[in-house]
Amino acid sequence: MLEIKDLHVKVDGKEILKGITLSVGTGEVHAIMGPNGSGKSTLSYVLSGREGYEITKGEILYKGKDLRAMEIEERAAAGVFLAFQYPIEIPGVTTMTFLKTALNAQRKARGEEELDAVKFLRLVREKAGPLNVSEDMLKRPLNVGFSGGEKKRAEILQMALLEPSLAVLDETDSGLDIDALKVVSDGVNALRSPDRSMIVITHYQRLLNHIVPDKVHVLSAGRIVRTGGKELAHELEETGYADIVEA
């Protein structure tokens, strides 16, 4: 699904990622862990194509295609989804309208028929229920005045609706209490499928108790310093990053 080879990225002239190589197979869930400032969020932005992230070396292949040649919205339509650490407020645009506009923009880009209001409504209700997203929330402007939990649930709802092939979840656990974490994790787990890959970026191990990864990578100072199975996360929980980073 995703092949990253020797990726170097500069932000504002400063090298943040210093040679990342990562291979995520179809249907796999990879966790990327690491201390603050290690370059985790940078990786998520590079994958989604945000401006200001200059790739100085290396390549990113997504489904065999050069991701760098694609615009932000082309990547989205091709199935790259980023769940934001801090979802952005969109004043005046209801969650419902936003979801419909996004879904239809992607469908249109893929040459599929756009959904009419009735079909769309049925689809949203079907996806919103399990995530505890109420009708009221759908009618409110997206992320405006949402609690931390509501914002994250809205992100996962978008993911459920847009059905990406590659989902990057950036610190999805931040700002969530235990109950909200459970709802969100259940939502993500429900979306695990043999043809969908996920990259779960997190600082803490606790999210990985709920979303159990196939592989865990530890990112430090722009490099992957260790790779292992799910047990690596537990090890980190006990020893902290310091030991691994210094090793």
Partner 1 sequence: MAVRETVETVDEVGKYKYGFFTDIESEKAPKGLNEDTIRFISAKKDEPEWMLEWRLEAYRRWLTMQEPSWAKVNYPEIDFQDAYYYSAPKSDEDRPKSLDEVDPKLLETYEKLGIPLSEQKMLAGVAVDAVFDSVSVATTFKGKLKEAGVIFCPMSEAIRDYPDLVRKYLGSVVPVSDNFYATLNSAVFSDGSFVYIPKGVRCPMELSTYFRINEAQTGQFERTLIVADEGSYVSYLEGCTAPMRDENQVHAAVVELVALEGAEIKYSTVQNWYPGDENGKGGIYNFVTKRGDCRGADSKISWTQVETGSAVTWKYPSCILRGDNSVGEFYSIAISNNYQQVDSGTKMIHLGKNTSSRIISKGISAGKSSNTYRGLVSVHKKAEDARNFTQCDSLLVGDKCSAHTVPYIESKNPSAVLEHEATTSKISEDQLFYCMQRGLGEEEAVALLVNGFCRDVLQQLPMEFAVEAQKLVGISLEGSVG
Enumerate binding residues for partner 1 (CB under 8 A).
Answer: 48-51, 71-73, 76-77, 81-82, 84, 87-93, 97-98, 101-103, 105-106, 109, 141, 158, 162
Q: Kindly state the smallest distance separating residue 223's Cβ from partner 1, in Å.
A: 26
Q: Kindly state the smallest distance separating residue 105's Cβ from partner 1, in Å.
A: 4
Contacts of 145 (CB under 8 A, 6+ apart): none
Q: Kindly state the smallest distance separating residue 114's Cβ from partner 1, in Å.
A: 12
Q: Closer to partner 1 by CB, 106 or 185: give it.
A: 106
CA angle 17, 200, 143 (to 5 degrees): 100
Residue 109 contacts residue 144 (beta carbons within 8 Å) = no
Q: Closer to partner 1 by CB, 71 or 238: give it.
A: 71
CA distance 235 to 132: 33
Q: Closer to partner 1 by CB, 50 or 65: give it.
A: 50
| Amino acid in position 51 | E
Q: Kindly state the smallest distance separating residue 160's Cβ from partner 1, in Å.
A: 13
Contacts of 27 (CB under 8 A, 6+ apart): 192, 193, 194, 195, 196, 197
Q: Closer to partner 1 by CB, 51 or 238: give it.
A: 51
The two three-digit tokens of residue 88, written as one number = 């952005």
